């Protein structure tokens, strides 16, 4: 590794320190960042095993990473972030566009000039005494026309280690960047980890990201939410594709036919569990199989046949650990058995990772590094994470590396709704489906700072991640219905409906395949449904419920339709749409009003 590190004296920083690339624009940008941040060394990351081993040894030496029990969790480590740096910080996340209206009411806005001035003031001299890592990466298969590249500059070796898992990072990515000549620029520093000096700024018109003061996940791994959603959503609108907060899974039926589904759920609402679903035993015996393409982000583009083709731009999983167990997600548990970076989990006495809901072992050390005491809170932070290569997943599909992507048969929206929303319904057409996604609501989770359990609208699960005005985003979605595209059917699910006793009415987990099977049959035209003002609902007999025990209350609420409750919901949706002003597409207003009229509203 030392051969790749350049000692930089302050007078030499602007004199060609960036010798790691033949691309002039990249070299000049690295030089300018070095001049601003004044690191003691610059390291160009090549993604090699030797480089990774050296970084891990360095982090073990300074206790950034703690090696876990090598017998039970080989090749795995624990990282503890600062106690005030444990989740996304939406209130400190900005979209900086020339016009405030282009950012929209769904984003915090700052002018590009003010945004750069504020961030450059923070970055001034911030890497003194530190190494500046230059991380070239590719989001998506390295040879896919759907993929896009970026370069993250960071002073965090923890970020480098995670980016190596989560993206195609290193020499192959740099080679593609040099061929194409374009890349997303991401500048990150952990700074002082001071919450009062913490900002994440996006400049979509410049394809630039600046993040300061956080070492946590999506705030620091700039290829993830910052690039793959906020910047990519802007790119997608300009270039005619979609960058979405969606899992992608394959469903193979007993006839050997595979359908691919993309599904959007807010963070910590079951995306990873669904992406790695294991069919119920009765389904497995008949030959049903589930394959995993991705668990969090989906980029879709119309193919030559008019269908939407999707890639997972990520190469790894950055999943929520609490609640992951042999019952909830055995595939995830097997995936993270080796070669995994855990963040903010607890530890057992013999050095194994532990979190609430794991179902085995006992915590001895909490996520802060203190002796565990249940009176001081959970052993693992509720938003504790694991970072692991997707290829380790037992249900991983090699189709995840297909440069052309996989064809999408159905798009699914869903969130946590304790009441009103049934188990599943199908949108009438594409416009109705866009309204269903735009109106999607969910109860907040620990993935974001703030109160937990508060219902809020989270369109397409993109509220924290859309890089431009939601009204324009909805219009972009509507534009795909152009008569030439063969668009997927759109559905909405709610695994989280509760009974009067506060318990979930649907068993979930593997049994969710029963709902997916109905969707696929609807795509094929072989399943019945009942038409209602909110969409097509299955009857109990339309789903395979063999072996599922449901109470009368569950059957009534999961498959029922509360007309008066929906009248109030659709009125609320109308108010929500009007909140975006004149940019909101007339087609969505008309669709909301059509449903309201059918409900007698």
Question: Is 149 labelled a binding residue?
Answer: no
For residue 22, give the DSSP letter: S
Radius of gyration of the chain, Cα coordinates, nearest whole angstrom: 24
The burial of 247, by beta-carbon neighbours within 10 Å (0-12 exposed, 13-18 middle, 19 or more buried), is given as buried
Query: With b meaning 16 or more CB within 10 Å and e meaning fewer, what string describes 277-289?
Result: bbbbeebeeeebb
Question: Is 271 labelled a binding residue?
Answer: yes
Distance from C-alpha of 244 to C-alpha of 598, rounded to nearest angstrom: 31
Distance from C-alpha of 320 to C-alpha of 324, rounded to nearest angstrom: 8
Question: Is 137 labelled a binding residue?
Answer: no
590 Cβ contact list (under 8 Å, min separation 6): none
The answer to whether 375 and 359 are in contact (CB under 8 A) is no
Question: Is 273 labelled a binding residue?
Answer: yes
Question: Is 269 labelled a binding residue?
Answer: yes
Token pair 């004149």 is found at 582
Query: Residue 230, Cα to own-chain centre: how many angstroms?
Result: 11
Distance from C-alpha of 480 to C-alpha of 477, rounded to nearest angstrom: 6
Residue 54 burial (CB count, 10 A): 17
Question: Is 272 labelled a binding residue?
Answer: yes
The answer to whether 327 and 351 are in contact (CB under 8 A) is no
CA dihedral 31, 35, 38, 44 (to 10 degrees): 0
Q: Is 442 helix (H, G, I), strand (E, B) or coil?
A: strand
Dig out the tokens for 383 from the structure: 């938003």
Question: Is 268 labelled a binding residue?
Answer: yes
Question: Is 567 labelled a binding residue?
Answer: no
The answer to whether 519 and 536 are in contact (CB under 8 A) is no
Question: Is 342 labelled a binding residue?
Answer: no
CA atoms within 13 A on the CB side of 569: 22
Q: Is 269 a catalytic residue?
A: yes
Query: Residue 599, Cα to own-chain centre: how many angstroms?
Result: 35
Question: Is 522 labelled a binding residue?
Answer: no
The answer to whether 474 and 583 are in contact (CB under 8 A) is no
Strand runs (DSSP E) across 284-396, as ranges? 289-294, 298-302, 308-311, 316-320, 341-343, 346-347, 353-354, 385-389
**Catalytic annotation, pick one of 269, 298, 393, 466:** 269
Question: Is 554 labelled a binding residue?
Answer: no
Question: Is 88 labelled a binding residue?
Answer: yes
Distance from C-alpha of 214 to C-alpha of 72, rounded to nearest angstrom: 31
Distance from C-alpha of 74 to C-alpha of 90, rounded to nearest angstrom: 35
| 371 backbone dihedrals φ, ψ, rounded to 5° | -55, 135
Question: Is 370 labelled a binding residue?
Answer: no
Question: Is 384 labelled a binding residue?
Answer: yes
Question: Is 298 labelled a binding residue?
Answer: no
CA distances from 117 to 96, 101, 112, 201 (A): 12, 21, 8, 11
Distance from C-alpha of 470 to C-alpha of 22, rounded to nearest angstrom: 39
For residue 488, give the DSSP letter: P
Question: Is 306 labelled a binding residue?
Answer: no
Question: Is 416 labelled a binding residue?
Answer: yes
Question: Is 307 labelled a binding residue?
Answer: no
Distance from C-alpha of 209 to C-alpha of 212, rounded to nearest angstrom: 10
Q: Which positions make up the binding site for Mn(2+)?
A: 225, 245, 296
Q: Which positions make up the binding site?
A: 88, 216-218, 225, 245, 267-273, 296, 383-385, 416, 509-512
Q: Which positions make up the binding site for GTP?
A: 268-273, 385, 416, 509-512
Task: List, by residue number, the catalytic residues.
Answer: 269
Q: Which positions make up the binding site for substrate?
A: 88, 216-218, 267, 383-385
């Amino acid at each position: 590794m030392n051969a790749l590190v350049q000692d930089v004296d302050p007078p030499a920083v602007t004199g060609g320190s960036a010798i790691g690339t033949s691309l002039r624009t990249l070299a000049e940008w690295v030089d300018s960042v070095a001049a601003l941040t004044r690191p003691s060394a610059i390291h160009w990351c090549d993604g090699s095993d030797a480089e990774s081993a050296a970084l891990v040894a360095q982090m073990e030496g300074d206790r950034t990473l703690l090696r876990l029990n090598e017998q039970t969790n080989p090749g795995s480590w624990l990282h503890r972030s600062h106690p005030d740096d444990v989740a996304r910080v939406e209130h400190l996340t900005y979209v900086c566009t020339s016009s405030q209206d282009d950012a929209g009411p769904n984003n915090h806005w700052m002018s590009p000039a003010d945004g750069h001035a504020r961030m450059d003031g923070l970055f001034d001299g911030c890497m003194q005494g530190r190494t500046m890592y230059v991380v070239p990466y590719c989001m998506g298969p390295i040879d896919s026309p759907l993929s896009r590249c970026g370069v993250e500059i960071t002073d965090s070796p923890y970020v480098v280690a995670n980016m190596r898992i989560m993206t195609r990072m290193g020499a192959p990515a740099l080679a593609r960047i040099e061929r194409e000549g374009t890349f997303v620029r991401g500048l990150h520093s952990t700074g002082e980890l001071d919450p009062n000096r913490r900002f994440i700024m996006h400049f979509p018109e410049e394809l630039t990201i600046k993040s300061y003061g956080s070492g946590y996940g999506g705030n620091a791994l700039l290829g993830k939410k910052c690039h793959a959603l906020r910047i990519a959503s802007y790119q997608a609108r300009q270039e005619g594709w979609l960058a979405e907060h969606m899992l992608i899974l394959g469903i193979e039926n007993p006839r050997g036919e595979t359908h691919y589904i993309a599904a959007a759920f807010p963070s910590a609402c079951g995306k990873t569990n669904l992406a790695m679903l294991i069919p119920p035993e009765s389904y497995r015996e008949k030959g049903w199989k589930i394959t995993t393409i991705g668990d969090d982000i989906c980029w879709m583009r119309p193919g030559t046949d008019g269908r939407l083709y999707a890639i997972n731009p990520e190469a790894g999983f950055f999943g929520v650990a609490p609640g992951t167990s042999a019952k909830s997600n055995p595939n995830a548990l097997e995936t993270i058995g080796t070669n995994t970076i855990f963040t903010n989990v607890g530890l057992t006495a013999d050095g194994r990772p532990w979190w609430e809901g794991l179902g085995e072992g006992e915590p001895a050390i909490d996520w802060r590094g203190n002796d565990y005491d249940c009176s001081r809170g959970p052993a693992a932070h509720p938003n504790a994470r694991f970072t692991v290569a997707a290829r380790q997943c037992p249900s991983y599909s090699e189709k995840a590396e297909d440069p052309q992507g996989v064809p999408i048969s159905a798009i699914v929206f869903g969130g946590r709704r304790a009441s009103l929303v049934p188990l599943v319904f199908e949108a009438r057409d594409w416009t109705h489906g866009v309204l269903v996604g735009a109106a999607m609501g969910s109860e907040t989770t620990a993935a974001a700072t703030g109160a937990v359990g508060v219902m809020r609208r989270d369109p397409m699960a993109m509220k924290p991640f859309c890089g431009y005005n939601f009204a324009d985003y909805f219009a972009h979605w509507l534009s795909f219905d152009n008569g030439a595209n063969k668009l997927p059917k759109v559905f909405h699910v709610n695994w989280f409906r509760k009974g009067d006793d506060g318990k979930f009415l649907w068993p979930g987990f593997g049994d969710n395949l029963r709902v997916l099977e109905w969707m696929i049959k609807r795509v094929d035209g072989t399943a019945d449904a009942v038409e209602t003002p909110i969409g097509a609902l299955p009857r109990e007999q339309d789903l395979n419920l063999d072996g599922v025990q449901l109470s009368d209350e569950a059957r009534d609420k999961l498959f029922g339709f509360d007309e008066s409750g929906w009248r109030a919901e659709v009125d609320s949706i109308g108010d929500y749409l009007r909140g975006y002003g004149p940019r909101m597409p007339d087609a969505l207003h008309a669709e909301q009003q059509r449903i309201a009229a059918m409900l007698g509203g």
